[in-house]
Amino acid sequence: MKLIKLLANNAPRCLVAIILTFGVVHSARAFTAANADTLFNDYNTAFYVGNNGNAYYSVYKGTGTSGIDFWETAEEIEAAEDAALQDSSYDSLVTALINGFSANMQTNWSYDTYNDDICWGCLAYLRGYEITGNSTFLQIAQANYGMMYARAWDSSAGGLWWNTSDNAKNSCVECPGSIVAYLLYEATGSSTYYDEASNILSYERNNLWNPSTGQVYDGLTSQTPTTYNQGTFIKANDDLGWTGGATLACNYLMTMGSTNASPSSSGFHLMPIYGLDNNNSGLNGIGIRWASAYMIHRGMQSTYEAWLQANASCAWEVSRASDGLSWENWHLVCTNGAYVGSWDCVSSVAAVMDVPPTQ
C-alpha cells in the first residue's frame, strides 16, 4: 500500500503560529503540496550529501559528515521515500540514499545485534523497492529479514527478541517485524511471510497492547506509549486487515502530546515534544506516517484528517525563515541559531509529505 497525497476540500486551515517565548505572532502560511516540497527541499539543502551516488544525510547542517545511528539513517530514507511517493522526480534521490546506506552500513547487517535495527533497514529497502523497482533492494531486505527472523523468533513463547541477548521483547521490533514480513509477502507472494507477519503481530497484540484503550506498550517491562510504536502498530494491523486494533491505536495516538493556545493547532493535540538530539527526536514522523496511510487506505478522513492536518500545518508553520528548517517541536517556530540536526527535523518532512494538504 503506497501513501497517496489527496487534495482535501473544505479542510480546516491553520491561521497563525505563536512564538511562545516572545509572544510574537507568526503569519499564517497555508499548508499546500508546494509548501511540502519547499520544506523537503530546504531539508535537502541543509543535510543531503550526494557523495557520487552513495548519498546520506549529514548529522548537522553544513558538516558534510555522516555518523547517524543505523535505525535513524533508515528512517531518514523513509522520509525521502514519502516524498518520492508524491513526486517521482525524487526516485533517484531514494536510490542514491539506499546505495549510500549499503556503502556505509554494508548489505549484510548481521553485525548489528539489535533486531529492530534490521527491521528498520528492511523497511527502507522494501519501500525503496516499491518505488524504484530495483530488485537488489528487495534481495537485500529479504536476506537480512531471514537472518534476523532466524535468530530473533522465540519458537517456544512467540515474539521476536529485541537483540541477540534474548532478554527483552519490545514493540519496536515486533511491529516493524510484522510489517517487513507482510511487505515481503506482497513482493514475493510467499505465504510463509504472511504467516510470520500474522504470528508476530498476534504476539504483539496479546502481550504489548491494551485493547481497552488502544495503548501500545513499549515492552514487557514498560507500558510507556510512544508515537512510533502507535504508528507501526496501526500499520501492521492495517496490513492484516485487523482494523479494529488499528482504529483503537490511532484513536489513542490522537490523545498523545498536548494542545496549546494557538489557533494553529485547531484544538487538536500536537505530537509530543521529544526534544533535540536524542533517540526519540524523530519518532513523530513514524506515527503520523502510518496514521495518515491508514486513514487514506480505509477512507477515514472524517475521523482523522483534521487532526493530522493540524499537526502537519503546524510542522510547516514553525519552519524558520533563515533556512526553512522545522524541528520536532510543533508548538513554536524553530529558533534562529538553534543547532538542529537532520534527525531533529525529519518528522516535519514526513508530516507534510504524508498528510493531505489543507488546500
Model confidence at 15: pLDDT above 60: no
| Nearest-angstrom CA–CA distance, 209 and 249 | 9
The whole-number pLDDT of residue 66 equals: 64
How long, in residues, is the chain? 359
Domain positions in the chain are: 17-354
Write out pLDDT tens, residues 78-120: 999 999 999 999 999 999 999 999 999 999 999 999 999 999 9
pLDDT reported for residue 280: 97
133 has a pLDDT exceeding 70: yes
The predicted pLDDT at position 12 comes to 30
> What's the CA gap between 270 and 113, in Å, rounded?
34
Q: What percent of the chain has pLDDT over 70?
A: 91
Alpha helices, DSSP H, located in the chain:
33-47, 70-86, 91-105, 115-132, 135-152, 171-188, 191-207, 227-239, 243-253, 283-298, 301-317, 342-354
* pLDDT score at 63: 72
Model confidence at 23: pLDDT above 60:
no
- Whole-number pLDDT of residue 6: 31
Q: CA of 140: how far to CAs of 11, 77, 120, in Å?
A: 41, 15, 13
CATH architecture of 17-354: Alpha/alpha barrel (1.50)
pLDDT at 48: 96
**What span, in angstroms and rounded, lies between the C-alpha atoms of 254 and 267?**
12
Under the banding of pLDDT at 50, 70 and 90, the label for residue 64 is low
Tracing cell 537488489 back to the chain, one arrives at: 136
Grid coordinates in use for 268? 487538536
pLDDT band at 61 (very low <50, low <70, confident <90, very high): confident
Q: With bands split at pLDDT 50, 70 and 90, how would you rate the model's confidence at 211? A: very high
Please determine, for residue 18, whether its predicted confidence score (pLDDT) is greater than 80. Answer: no
| Range of weakest confidence among 66-70, 85-89, 175-179 | 66-70
277-305 in b/e form (b: 16+ CB < 10 A) is eeeebbbbbbbbbbbbbbbbbeebbeebb
Check residue 258 and give its pLDDT: 96
Q: What is the pLDDT of residue 263?
A: 73
pLDDT(215) > 60: yes
pLDDT tier for residue 65 given thresholds of 50, 70 and 90: low
Q: What are the pLDDT digits (tens) for 24-58?
A: 333 445 589 999 999 999 999 999 999 999 999 99
Cell 538530539 belongs to residue: 277
Mean pLDDT of 313-332: 96
pTM, full prediction: 0.92
Give residue 30's pLDDT.
Answer: 58
Query: 148-169: per-residue pLDDT in tens?
Result: 999 999 999 999 999 999 999 9
